[in-house]
Amino acid sequence: MTTTDADNDLTAAGVFWDLDPLLPAPSDDGLNALLGRADAIADDLAQTRGHVPELDAAGLATFMEKLAELHDAVGRAGSFAGLDFATDTTDPARGARMQRIEERATAIGTKLVFFELEWAELPDEQVEALLADERLAFARHHLRSARRYRPHLLSEPEEVILTEKSLTGRSAWERLFEEQVSSIEVQLDGAPATLEAALGRLHAPDRDMRRGAAAAISAALQPGLRTRAYILNTLLSDKSTDDRLRHYESWIASRNLSNEASDESVQALVDAVQRRYTIPQRWYALKAQLLGLDRIADYDRMASVADVEAKVGWRAAKELVHDAYASFSTELADTVTKFYDGAWIDAPARPGKRPGAFCAYTVPSHHPYVLLNWTARRRDVLTLAHELGHGLHAYLARDQGVYHQATPLTLAETASVFGETVTFGRLLEEVTEPQERLALLASNLEDQIATVFRQIAMNRFENAIHNGRREEGELSIERIGELWAETQTAMLGDAVEITDDYRAWWSYIPHFIGTPGYVYAYAYGQLLALSVYAQYEARGPAFVPQYLDLLRAGGSMAPEELGKLVDVDLADPEFWDRGLDIIERQLDATTEAARAAGRLS
Ligand SMILES: [Zn+2]
């Protein structure tokens, strides 16, 4: 059998990235040269140990410039090893090389730990006087925000004890939880399957298959549930102790601080999303009709509403995404061309390659790379637009240098969601067949609901268990299940039947254990990005220069300041509704498409 040009287009055959330009010399010689250089810079910088308080603005600027050179060298080596590994995670040689680079990078970093500690110790007046100097503009925001934990730091011996004991405390409990979850076996069709495989069946069009998978998952979650609940209780209590010792006012305050988000803006987000819980409720009522049910159950939520889908070739996808970006900025479209022509993308799916998709910023003196697993679905076109959005953001912000190129977490999705939304509009124009249109709209809406509403419902669960543990003491399995069901029901209302079995489904989610408070950031980032897009809708081409300024600014300012560049006011309580309005309009469009497809009675 011969492979035709059309086959190659469907698999994006031969679309590989070229990592060699990251290195000064090929392969291990290049990696060793970079790490050797970084090591020498680290030794040089380490001479400043104990003398940070004596640095003047010129001295500090020199220190930060050298440190940036070090980050560049380590970043190039780490990017090369990590990206090379991502294309074949089964190759032991690549794995070992990545491990070796990581270990050397850690050793280099350890030599410089003193700087952050000494910097945090300086009085505010001295810091502000130093940062007022223009020679430090390239590191100003970074240096200022590095001190934001100052009021919550303990004395050095106390910090050392907490760090050392956490290995056998929090970290040990986290690892036990991970091991417990990875050992969960679900009985599917009489044979043991992974939890992942069983969860995948919830997308099946056949209801019996979904129901069967859900029952098997619920059964599989019972063994070890007591242990997982105990781990959760222990970590809730541990967090409560930490927050008390470090003077955090609420369970979420430390997370907000690390996200550079104010407590008020996060609370405003949570309130706004809860007020619009009618959106998921309307959708699930509509979905029941599409599936021919009176009411859907928890295990029906992921079911696909249509199984027809035409394939999209790589060339057509590239063109569509390029045109979408060209529709609002030639500068962005030209940069997209650089990704296509410069071997900055690794597209084909192949065995051993890391699943999913991502964009790696690498270092500002180089360019970003995009990894995809291209399968020629419409969704893949949106993924291409999404990851290129990250890539464009990184590329436009490269002049900010190593300290300010990347945005804080809450703004990291701005360009990706923006580009994806523009591309989605184009894609929708092309799809005229009613069932396909419905499928496209429905899958996009479900992604929005998962990112915004589901994550906020999970945040409410976290809020309930953290406060519950602090006020009521140790929480029983029944109590945790009750709080899980309550917070899910609040979002789903009468639209979805929550079965009793569902009460244990909190118990495999890693975020509650490993990164408490993290989940709201998904909703924050998505709605922020959508409201930036709403500005573009409202103002058209006049908005584009401001938007490009936002991208160029990277992470050189606090999130609130960055928002102001595009007239977005994160402190405005109504702010979040703009993004939510867009999702509501998508729901209206999906309802319309369902009617047009003859799927509503
Ligand atoms: Zn993203």
> In the predicted model, is pLDDT for residue 408 greater than 90?
no
Alpha carbon of 388 to ligand 1 centroid (Å): 9
Per-residue pLDDT tens for 43-75?
Answer: 999 999 999 999 999 999 999 999 999 999 999
The torsion angle over the Cα atoms of residues 406, 411, 412 and 415, rounded to 10 degrees, is: -110
CB within 8 Å of 232: residues ≥ 6 apart: 465, 475, 480, 507, 512, 513
Is 359 or 351 the better-scoring residue by pLDDT? 359
| Three-class SS state of 303 | coil
Measuring CA to CA, which residue among 422, 419, 443, 420 is closest to residue 593? Answer: 443
Q: How far apart, in whole angstroms, are the C-alpha atoms of residue 228 and residue 247?
A: 28
pLDDT band at 36 (very low <50, low <70, confident <90, very high): very high
Alpha carbon of 414 to ligand 1 centroid (Å): 9
> In the predicted model, is pLDDT for residue 328 greater than 80?
yes
135: Cα within 13 Å, side-chain hemisphere = 12
| Three-class SS state of 475 | coil
Q: CB atoms < 10 A from the CB of 505, how many? A: 19
Alpha carbon of 68 to ligand 1 centroid (Å): 26
* Burial degree of 379 (CB within 10 A; 0-12, 13-18, 19+): middle
Alpha carbon of 206 to ligand 1 centroid (Å): 31
Alpha carbon of 166 to ligand 1 centroid (Å): 31
Alpha carbon of 141 to ligand 1 centroid (Å): 23
> In the predicted model, is pLDDT for residue 156 greater than 80?
no
Q: How far apart, in whole angstroms, are the C-alpha atoms of residue 417 and residue 390?
A: 9
For residues 532 and 414, the answer to whether their CB atoms sit within 8 Å is: yes
Q: Given this model, what pLDDT does residue 352 score?
A: 87
CB within 8 Å of 498: residues ≥ 6 apart: 297, 298, 485, 488, 489, 492
Is 106 or 58 the better-scoring residue by pLDDT? 58
Q: Given this model, what pLDDT does residue 428 score?
A: 93
Measuring CA to CA, which residue among 242, 249, 231, 255 is closest to residue 474? Answer: 231
Per-residue pLDDT tens for 450-478?
Answer: 999 999 999 999 999 999 999 999 999 99
* 418 Rama sector, left if φ>0, alpha if ψ -120 to 50, beta otherwise: alpha
For residues 184 and 220, the answer to whether their CB atoms sit within 8 Å is: yes
Alpha carbon of 387 to ligand 1 centroid (Å): 6
Give the sign of the dihedral formed by CA 107, CA 112, CA 114, CA 120: negative
Q: Given this model, what pLDDT does residue 208 score?
A: 95
Alpha carbon of 355 to ligand 1 centroid (Å): 15
Per-residue pLDDT tens for 69-87?
Answer: 999 999 999 999 999 999 9
> In the predicted model, is pLDDT for residue 504 greater than 60?
yes
Alpha carbon of 372 to ligand 1 centroid (Å): 12
Measuring CA to CA, which residue among 419, 424, 414, 445 is closest to residue 531? Answer: 414
Alpha carbon of 45 to ligand 1 centroid (Å): 35
Alpha carbon of 243 to ligand 1 centroid (Å): 30
Alpha carbon of 145 to ligand 1 centroid (Å): 24
pTM for this entry:
0.90
Q: Given this model, what pLDDT does residue 167 score?
A: 82
pLDDT band at 2 (very low <50, low <70, confident <90, very high): low
CB within 8 Å of 380: residues ≥ 6 apart: 312, 317, 372, 374
* 27 Rama sector, left if φ>0, alpha if ψ -120 to 50, beta otherwise: left
Give the sign of the dihedral formed by CA 70, CA 72, CA 74, CA 75: positive
Q: How far apart, in whole angstroms, are the C-alpha atoms of residue 590 and residue 445?
A: 8
Q: Given this model, what pLDDT does residue 166 score?
A: 87
Alpha carbon of 312 to ligand 1 centroid (Å): 22
pLDDT band at 489 (very low <50, low <70, confident <90, very high): very high
Q: Given this model, what pLDDT does residue 159 score?
A: 83
Q: Angle at CA 464, nearest 5°, toward 463 and 467? A: 80
Q: Given this model, what pLDDT does residue 297 score?
A: 96
589: Cα within 13 Å, side-chain hemisphere = 19
> In the predicted model, is pLDDT for residue 3 greater than 80?
no
| Three-class SS state of 412 | coil
Instruction: Report, as an integer, the average pLDDT of 18-33.
Output: 97
Q: Given this model, what pLDDT does residue 471 score?
A: 97
Per-residue pLDDT tens for 222-274?
Answer: 999 999 999 999 999 999 999 999 999 999 999 999 999 999 999 999 999 99
Alpha carbon of 575 to ligand 1 centroid (Å): 21
The token duo for 496 is 């979805």
What percent of the chain has pLDDT above 90? 82
Q: How far apart, in whole angstroms, are the C-alpha atoms of residue 156 and residue 168?
A: 20
pLDDT band at 1 (very low <50, low <70, confident <90, very high): low
pLDDT band at 576 (very low <50, low <70, confident <90, very high): very high
Alpha carbon of 417 to ligand 1 centroid (Å): 7
Alpha carbon of 94 to ligand 1 centroid (Å): 26
| Three-class SS state of 347 | strand
CB within 8 Å of 393: residues ≥ 6 apart: 407, 414, 415, 416, 551, 554
CB within 8 Å of 203: residues ≥ 6 apart: 302, 303, 304
Per-residue pLDDT tens for 280-307?
Answer: 999 999 999 999 999 999 999 999 887 7
352: Cα within 13 Å, side-chain hemisphere = 11
Mean pLDDT, rounded, of the chain: 94
Query: Which residue matches tokens 């503009």?
Result: 137
Query: Which residue matches tokens 């619009």?
Result: 276
